[in-house]
Amino acid sequence: MDTYYHPKDLGHFADMGKANPALWEKFMAYYGAVFAEGALTEREKALIALAVAHAVQCPYCIDAYTQASLEKGSNIEEMTEAVHVACAIRGGASLVHGVQMRNVATKLSM
Amino acid sequence: MAMTPLKSLRARDSALASTREQVRRLESTPGLPRFDGTLAGAGLHPLRATGITVFQINVGKLCNQTCRHCHVDAGPDRAEMMSRGTAEQCMSALARTDIPTVDITGGAPELNPVFRYLVEESVRLGRRVMDRCNLSVLLLPSQADLAGFLARHRVEVVASLPSLVQTQIDAQRGAGVFEKSLEALRRLNALGYGKPGSGLVLTLVTNPVGAFLPPAQEAQERQFRERLARVHGIVFNALYTITNMPISRFLEFLLETGNYEGYMQRLVEAFNPAAADGVMCRYTLSVGWDGRLYDCDFNQMLDLPIGGGAPNHIRDFDPGHLMTRRIVTGNHCYGCTAGAGSSCGGSTT
């Protein structure tokens, strides 16, 4: 069945370097440095990436960072909490805009 | 995932109970590069032994657990056990060498009556002895004195604890095993195991609870050390990470869940020449319950005995031939060469 997303396409991510290798290499060097052990552990970074993947709703990223989180030693409880963090921030982001709604409504109302 | 209690592949008459069928599947996987070719590409073919520093004895397939990933297909329904005569042949062979480490495994090796003989004799010969322990065996009424026996003989306990989460451990190792494992670890700690200055070494072994690679060993050890101490008051000396080998019941899991090809691809992509150079078969001799000799416990479970014309039974033990033997390899070996490598002693790089 045709679909915009194909799981196997994740394996072809590097094809994005074909038309502009210089930019691709810069991106990948940066990407690798971001995920290297630093002030945060690789495991913590993978959990952040997993949460962000849910916030941006990227199926490739969810696939990749579910596997990465497991391979960095996270368990399903921790990964579920990470997704809830993404969910809370997304929900909170909507809700906090209610203040803007209230400001406008207050100004317009008697 | 909730699991019903397992029986062994053998007890279920599974096609995968046949080691020949397992090897056939591994060697005929579409798109999988042959391991020997990958080794050759890294300049490591043929793989040869560099000596023997670990004398690993698998005393049989009897176990009080039936773990979902078991590469031995062990369980309460398996009766294959090393005899006293074969155990004596093992010790006779050991005495002719200066191999420093004796690594006793199973099944649950402690359930075999020859286990204590092997420990006592190996200690008498001045060797370091390791017991591959599933932890829950320490709680069996018949093994009430086991922990004390291990402590008296200064046996290093190498204990399986794949996760810090009850649902994960119970899914892989059986209902209730998580709590039993923690209770067994507390008993070992109470005897001094894992405590500084006691000289009683407690090593944990973790393996992934699923079709993925293990974490970096150091990172996993830090995580386990902090969590076990903080939440459960448990201490240990070291932690090994081990990759699940795509054979036996783990192979069954991979095939049943549609993970086989993806897992093998993951192993191949993560092939690490440094890990291949340091694989345990190069310094291990593996003895089966019936006395036959193998390069490693995994080859043993695939019925792939040592090759190259070296005597392949412990009664004909010939260290001269074995020290430099050519290692028998196959596509299952990708399990030991992926990422940071995997061995009975944890990662290899």
- How far apart CA B98 and CA B119 sit, in angstroms, is 16
3-state SS class at B315: helix
Q: Determine the residue of chain B that is closest to A8 in CA distance.
A: B262
Structure-token pair, residue B158? 């190498």
| pLDDT given at position B169 | 94
**Helix residue ranges per DSSP H, chain B:** 19-27, 35-41, 84-95, 114-124, 146-152, 166-173, 177-190, 217-227, 248-256, 260-269, 273-277, 297-301, 319-322, 334-337
| pLDDT given at position B2 | 44
Structure-token pair, residue B344? 């009975």
Q: What is the DSSP string of A13-26?
A: GGGGGSS-HHHHHH
| pLDDT given at position A34 | 97
Contacts A–B by Cβ distance under 8 A = 33
Tell me the Cα Rg of chain B. 19
| pLDDT given at position B4 | 59
Summarised one tens digit per residue, pLDDT across range B165-199 is 999 999 999 999 999 999 999 999 999 999 999 99
| Whether the Cβ atoms of residue B246 and residue B239 lie closer than 8 Å to each other | no
| Whether the Cβ atoms of residue B89 and residue B314 lie closer than 8 Å to each other | yes
| Whether the Cβ atoms of residue B205 and residue B239 lie closer than 8 Å to each other | yes
Type of residue found at A49:
A
Query: Which residues in chain A land under pLDDT 70?
Result: 1
| pLDDT given at position B346 | 80
Query: Which residues in chain B land under pLDDT 50?
Result: 1-2
Beta-strand relationship, B238-241 and B101-105: unpaired
| pLDDT given at position A3 | 85
| pLDDT given at position B133 | 98
Nearest to B199 by CA among B157, B165, B230, B167: B157
- How far apart CA B190 and CA B173 sit, in angstroms, is 24
In this complex, is the C-beta atom of B163 within 8 Å of any C-beta atom belonging to chain A? Answer: yes
- How far apart CA A2 and CA B20 sit, in angstroms, is 40
3-state SS class at B121: helix
Site of tokens 């207050």? A106
Could B219 and A43 be called an inter-chain contact, meaning their C-beta atoms sit closer than 8 Å? yes
3-state SS class at B204: strand
Q: Which positions in chain A touch B212 (Cβ < 8 Å)?
A: 67, 70-71
| pLDDT given at position B103 | 98
Could B212 and A72 be called an inter-chain contact, meaning their C-beta atoms sit closer than 8 Å? no
Structure-token pair, residue B268? 């191949």
> Which of A13, A70, A78 is the mutation pick for testing B, counting most B CBs within 10 A?
A70
Q: Which residues contact B114 (CB under 8 A, 6 or more apart)?
A: B59, B81, B82, B83, B84, B86, B87
Q: Alpha carbon of A68 to those of A83, B28, B213, B244: distances in Å?
A: 15, 28, 9, 16
Q: What is the DSSP letter of B296?
A: S
Burial B198-224 (b: 16+ CB within 10 A, else e): eebbbbbbbbbbbbbbbbbbebbbebb
Q: What is the DSSP letter of A49?
A: H
| pLDDT given at position B9 | 97
In this complex, is the C-beta atom of B259 within 8 Å of any C-beta atom belonging to chain A? Answer: no
| Whether the Cβ atoms of residue B241 and residue B268 lie closer than 8 Å to each other | no
| pLDDT given at position B5 | 66
Of B167, B208, B219, the CB nearest to A70: B208
Nearest to B179 by CA among B197, B167, B196, B191: B167
Whole-prediction pTM value? 0.90
How many residues belong to chain A?
110
* Sheet with B156-160: strands ordered across: B238-241, B202-206, B156-160, B128-133, B101-105, B54-58, B284-287, B293-294
Type of residue found at B283:
Y
ipTM for the predicted complex: 0.75
Could A41 and B213 be called an inter-chain contact, meaning their C-beta atoms sit closer than 8 Å? no
Helix then strand then coil, in percent of chain B rounded to 5, is 40, 15, 45
